[in-house]
Structure 1
Amino acid sequence: MATTASGNNIQAPIFPGSGEFLMNISIGTPAVPMSAILDTGSDLIWTQCMPCTNARTVASTCIAMETSPPLKGSWHKTLLLFEDSGSGPVSIPNIGFGCGVNNQGTGFGQGSGLVGLGRGPLSLVSQLGLGKFSYCLTSISENKTSNVLFGALADLNYSTSGASHRTPLVQNPFQPSFYYVSLEGITIGETLLPMPKSTMKLKEDGSGGMIIDSGTTLTYLQEEAFRALKMEFKSQMKLRVSESSDTIGLDLCFDLPTEDLSEIAVPKLKLHFEGMDLELPPENYMISDPSMGVVCLAMAASSRMSILGNIQQQNLLVLHDLEKETVSFIPTQCDQL
């Protein structure tokens, strides 16, 4: 029996997919279970609806929602059911969600839709009227679960002791739905990359800047910054640059002498945000593929905004405090949260 909640005291399990993280929800009455991608870079909650012209996989869920005449997309309000990992199922009435019948694109191998957690009015965060939420992403290569935490539960696991883990959120009037942060520099090993603080700063015309996106796999850096990072990595890694980078689809790969990444000397990577430094463990920026015999940098260049992707957010409690307009990155063993 599901209990009804306001959304201010909910936790829900999340688990890794194929480059994305998913949560199990149910929509409608009677409830139809589905897995949906957890996406801070999106506003909408949506799923595939009948007749599902381009359902991505056999495992994808198709919701039967009547629209007359049939529409390419439609908007509905219904009951949303969370598989709450604390006290059992929790239902929330009158949650708006979108229906798509002709869905195309990659990333939906396991998910039938999205749960948008962005700033926009149609996101789950906005519909629940939340002042804060947090999530903790387990290793994308392991089949372990963690939680997304809403409202009062969001910062229960946050400790204010020690070094600062908090940086201000930045508003972009041209892209108001995204969670922007100020990345001021990057250190590789002991070398601060030679670029001005303004390189990845949000511009007056709304271009540039960096957003936090749980729905994007890799981290993307502004082209000038990525060129500097790539050059410094090449100089500090004691491995031969692989010729297989184009085949794998990543920009910088090295020939792998061993299957164990821990045995490889990988230079430290530290991100300098406004008010805090975030040093990432190697598994948050290096991907090994023993079958191809390579280890690759899990970053790429962007001609537009920079994006902090989910690989870089593994085993961090990422706390969005929308009342204080801050985001915190707290190193956490997420499967034990």
Structure 2
Amino acid sequence: MKTSLSSVFLFLTIFTSLQFSSILSRKLTQSPYSTSIFDVLASTNQALNALSIKPKHLQTHSHLPNSSLSLPLYPRLSLHNPSYKDYDSLVRARLARDAARVQFLNRNLEHSLNGGKDFGEVTNGSLIGDSITAPVVSGQSKGSGAEYLAQVGVGQPVKLFYLVPDTGSDVTWLQCQPCATENACYKQIDPIFDPKSSSSYTPLSCNSQQCGLLDRPNCNSGTCIYQVHYGDGSFTTGELATETLSFGNSNSIPNLPIGCGHDNEGLFAGGAGLIGLGGGAISLSSQLKASSFSYCLVNMDSDSSSTLEFNSNMPSDSLTSPLVKNDRFHSYRYVKVIGISVGGKTLPISSTRFEIDESGLGGIIVDSGTIISRLPSDVYESLREAFVKLTSSLSPAPGGTSLRLPARNYLIRVDTAGTYCLAFIKTKSSLSIIGSFQQQGIRVSYDLTNSLVGFSTNKC
């Protein structure tokens, strides 16, 4: 049964140089306006079926015909499906990981603004003339902290690993043998990488250029040591090295910096490590000297997949907005937002509420690792009040240049009883976040040459 709410419309619009519009209708009546139909039965069935998804064991890469570098990207449940007694338990586990993720983002920003070292501009790296693509899957199935995982080839000979794509951090790393102690490596589905088995693995010295790009570099017997700490107490530490990474069936890029973690704990259990896609100089996109990268996140309850791509063209129908640079902190991908409207009416929020101030606080980022979008308390309360007020009687918002989000992108199912919540959470932090729930089914493209972010629907 489909629930259509045609006589009542909710247009939730986030204005950048584009508009994100979503429509919620509440009654089965005729309307001259187009509406978004929320298929409650399909949503219920997908939620129930999510617990019975059988994990895939994929060992091949997709390869785009235009030679772009592409990695398969999978939702977590499609690769590793832990035993949950019901959908409620699955949602609670996701939200717990999500809270830890947001805590990490805020602590990482605070560390840098309080005197921690940030990154400079990259001065060397591997130049890629062709574009690169990798498959992207959901992290739920792998047991990792994030909901999506990409399959990457590491070393020579190539061995495949599932890593978490992360637009909010810079260091690319994976667990390595030997583990520092018996419990220093968490359980992952792939065998733990042994650097001795790869002819292309080379540890970096403390005075190497790549070591100088780390946020908190250390030195051990002349070898560069990296360390990354996450908001829930999780961490990874080990030696920084260069290694060959493989994208697709034929694209292998040598001498890319990668962390080889010998002591790892917590958040990323299941996945082999992380792909750093932040704006810092040591991130994978910076080291590849990529002109662009993009990803499309499939529904996290599905067993389908999409791709993470480097140097591929932005879809022609993409709605674009400027990427904003935080001069105090380069890792996060900020986007220009000037306001929010509900039901076609702009909320009484100053555009400065979404700007980065001189201290480096504020602004709004697009993040692949956060699930539920975060808004400062006053902004959230204004949005929530308008949502509640207008769901009983709304006039349709005007058209124009807008990206219309279906109800599944802003109404999140939280249990098997059919309870849905508005997929926004208030935060005491000044940092706002557009989370992955709102990004499902949309190809998010970063034009790094022209400092633009684009959004294109149905491009997974």
TM-score range for the pair, normalised by the shorter chain length: 0.7 to 0.9
Match of 1:121 in 2: 281
CA deviations over 1:31-60 (Å, ceiling 9, x no partner):
332101111111111111231734443425
2:151 alignment partner AA: N
CA distance in 2, matches of 1:266, 1:101: 57
CA deviation profile, 1:88-143 (whole Å, cap 9, x unmatched): 2421111110122332333x244221111112111111111111122122122211
CA contact (8 A) 2:188 2:270 kept: no
Partner residue of 1:45 out of 147, 172, 175: 172
- The residue correspondences of 1:143-158 to structure 2 (distance < 5 A) are 143-151=303-311, 153-155=312-314, 158=315
Q: Structure 1: how far apart are the matches of 2:395 and 2:422?
A: 11
Query: Which region of structure 1 is more displaced relative to structure 2, 24-33 or 323-332?
Result: 24-33
Structure number having the greater helix percentage = 2
Q: Does 1:308 align with 2:434?
A: yes
Give the aligned partner of residue 448 of structure 2.
Answer: 322
Amino acid at match of 1:73: G
Aligned to 2:155: 28
* Number of corresponding residues: 293
Please state if 1:279 is matched with 2:436: no
Q: Structure 1 residue aligned with 2:257, among 75, 91, 96?
A: 96
The structure 2 residue matched to 1:179, chosen from 325, 333, 339, is 333
Whether 1:131 aligns to 2:296 is no
In structure 2, distance between residues paired with 1:42 and 1:29: 26
Q: Answer yes or no: is the 8 Å Cα contact 2:188–2:269 preserved in 1.
A: no
CA positional deviation for 1:24: 0.4
- In the TM superposition, 1:224-239 aligns within 5 A as 224-237=378-391
- For residues 346 and 437 of structure 2, the distance between their equivalents in structure 1, rounded to whole angstroms, comes to 22
Q: In the alignment, is residue 288 of structure 1 matched against residue 438 of structure 2?
A: no
Of stretches 61-70 and 46-55 in structure 1, the one that deviates more from structure 2 is: 61-70
TM-score of the two chains, using structure 2 as the length reference: 0.58
Hey, what does 1:75 align to over in structure 2? Answer: 240
Cα offset for 1:29? Answer: 2.5
Deviations 1:257-305 (A, max 9, x none): xxxxxxxx999999xxxx9644322111111134254112222122131
Cα displacement (A) at 1:23: 0.6
Q: Are the aligned partners of 1:200 and 1:222 in contact in 2 as well (CA < 8 Å)?
A: no
Equivalent position of 1:297 in the other structure:
422
User: 1:169 — aligned with what?
Assistant: 323
SS at match of 2:378: helix
SS of match in other structure, 1:198: helix
Structure 1 residue runs of 5 or longer lacking an equivalent are 239-264
Look up the equivalent residue of 2:154 and give its one-letter code: I
Q: Would the aligned equivalents of 1:166 and 1:328 in 2 still touch at CA under 8 Å? A: yes
Quote how far apart the aligned CAs of 1:313 are.
Answer: 1.0
Q: Quick one: which of 5, 11, 17 aligns to 2:139?
A: 17
The yes-or-no answer on 1:201 pairing with 2:355 is yes
Secondary structure of 1:102 counterpart: strand
Distance between the aligned counterparts of 2:458 and 2:184, measured in 1?
38
> Partners in 2 of 1:220 and 1:276 — Cα distance?
24
The one-letter code matched in structure 2 to 1:16 is: S
Stretches of structure 2 that go unaligned for 5 or more consecutive residues are 1-59, 70-126, 141-145, 197-202, 204-219, 226-236
Question: Percent of aligned pairs with the same residue?
Answer: 33
User: How far apart in 1 are the matches of 2:304 and 2:350?
Assistant: 39
**Deviations along 1:49-87, whole A, 9 cap, x unmatched?**
2317344434254222478879742101111122x2xxx
Aligned-partner SS, 1:206: coil
Question: What letter is aligned with 2:261?
Answer: G
Query: What letter corresponds to residue 276 of structure 2 in structure 1?
Result: G
The structure with the greater share of residues assigned to strand is 1
Aligned to 1:105: 266
How far did 1:333 drift?
Answer: 4.0
Q: What is the match of residue 159 of structure 1?
A: 316
Write the letter of the residue equivalent to 1:154.
Answer: N
* C-alpha contact (below 8 Å) 1:79/1:91 kept by paired residues: yes
Q: Distance in 1 between matches of 2:420 and 2:408?
A: 11
Q: Indicate conservation of the 8 Å contact 2:373/2:423, yes or no.
A: yes
- Over the aligned positions, Cα root-mean-square deviation in angstroms equals 3.2
Q: Deviations over 1:185-214 (max 9, x none)?
A: 112233422211111211121100011111
Measure the CA separation in 2 of the matches of 1:317 and 1:266.
Answer: 30
Aligned residue for 2:438, secondary structure, equals helix
Kindly provide the amino acid, as one letter, of the partner of residue 124 in structure 1.
L
2: distance between equivalents of 1:309 and 1:54?
31
Q: Residues 298, 105 of structure 1: CA spacing in aligned structure 2 closer, same or farther, 3 A cutoff?
A: farther
- Give, in whole Å, the separation in 2 of the partners of 1:28 and 1:324: 32
